[in-house]
Chains A and B, each alone.
Chain A
């Protein structure tokens, strides 16, 4: 077997590790992989161009930025912070655990488009988490603020990933069904999606515990 196409993977790993521009890393890996698999360079560029063009829908979501930017101009982030500051007993830990539960449940019911980094985390969840952390622990340095914001983004990801597969009509469940059916194991989407529930419960338990531990650690650091 020709193992040379794996050089593309090596380029990706090295490129990211050495902190080259990720776009450059990805395109170099694509060109190297194609050429090492025996295609000529022009054909690889054509394949890359076709796939780039076919996947334009991925970048469509940026059209939401004018809406978010406009609302931020009128104080959306400040309002999100004020809401948390006015809430008695609100802590960063409790807030993110509540958001995790909400994100998992909404995704499990097929509403995975509620939430997300551009539309929810940047304008709402991250400023709220930051405000709650400052409220309980006093002012935080820039590094700690970044950690809080990153945890807000991480919570959105965990909530989405380990909620969405409980909804049976989702692409990943349909992909599993398709692969198994063509191998002679017909399964219904529902038979598969119930098996996403145990992992979802563990994801909630593990990530909640970590968020709360992170909140306590911030508290100790600020004392």
Chain B
């Protein structure tokens, strides 16, 4: 059975190669960072929690002291790229499409045909595993077709991962922060505060506090998944549903979407907001969030109205 451990080895190998190339390039900070990450991916399951914790702290130390720099491995010039693009045409898009198509088509086949009964993949892990298979297939196909120098994909990959830099592990680190918040009971405290500010007897204002709590707590945690159980058990279920008799399906579904509006507004949702700014080499780290404010704020207000209208006025 193919499990996540296989993917960890694959990613560990990629990080190890990037570490070696960085060392060869004399970029010791980069080499140390990617080497530590390679250790985490290859040996993380064998290491103790404390060793993994120290490893995470070491990664942060390298990043915080400016150890990670952009790199500039040899590549093609803009003119060469234009010439290649004109010669290769739209076929260039095919390898890029192989990856999502493998992930999506494979997931559908695995879940809705007898293919799933083979038990080839770890349960509920098939999409990411198929993504990994798609990457290998696309890479093999592109290598056979384009015949670049052997190390070209590794060097081009290093250019991209170095341009992302520390942001590459920020989403993973934020998930770890979420776990510590959960252990420390931050959710319960926030739920208690939110309950405390609600004026009694007003359905509309209770909806507003519920939706605002979803958005704000999502902004703090970086994703709505952490906020939803807290706000649903603090306000959504006891007040909106049990006291005021609202429609549970609307309150649940649209409450979650009010949280998604918060996701658009926070640097804590790093993989959606900070990583693309790095990937696109934007000057301002918050440039993506800025473009989202004008959509997120009115859409949040719309969600409040949907909960109020569909969940209460039309329901009762």
Interface residue ranges, A against B (CB under 8 Å):
1-3, 5-6, 8-9, 12, 16, 20-24, 26-27, 29-30, 33-34, 36-37, 39, 42, 44-80, 82-83, 110-111, 113-124, 126, 142-143, 146-147, 149-154, 156-158, 161-162, 165, 171-173, 175-177, 179-180, 183, 185, 187, 191-196, 198-199, 202-203, 206-207, 210, 214
Contact = CB atoms under 8 A, between A and B. Distances in A.
B24 interface: no
A196 to B, nearest CB: 6
Given A33-B184, A74-B76, A147-B287, A26 B292 contact: no
A187 B248 contact: yes
Nearest to B98: A67
30 contacts: A12-B268, A22-B166, A23-B169, A24-B60, A27-B177, A44-B180, A47-B183, A48-B56, A52-B56, A53-B44, A56-B8, A60-B8, A60-B11, A60-B128, A61-B131, A75-B92, A76-B92, A78-B82, A78-B84, A79-B89, A117-B272, A117-B276, A121-B276, A126-B280, A153-B276, A165-B260, A192-B252, A194-B253, A198-B254, A206-B298
8 tightest CB-CB pairs across the interface, nearest first?
Answer: A69-B156, A49-B53, A75-B85, A49-B52, A51-B179, A37-B184, A66-B157, A195-B253
Contacts of A180: 232, 237, 248, 252
Main secondary structure of the interface of A (DSSP, over half): helix
B224 interface: yes
Nearest to B261: A161
B69 interface: no
Given A12-B220, A183-B233, A151 B291 contact: yes
Nearest to A77: B81
Contacts, number: 428
B160 interface: yes
B282 to A, nearest CB: 5
Contacts of B153: 66-67, 69-70
Which of A16, A52, A114 has the most C-beta atoms of chain B within 10 angstroms of its own C-beta? A52
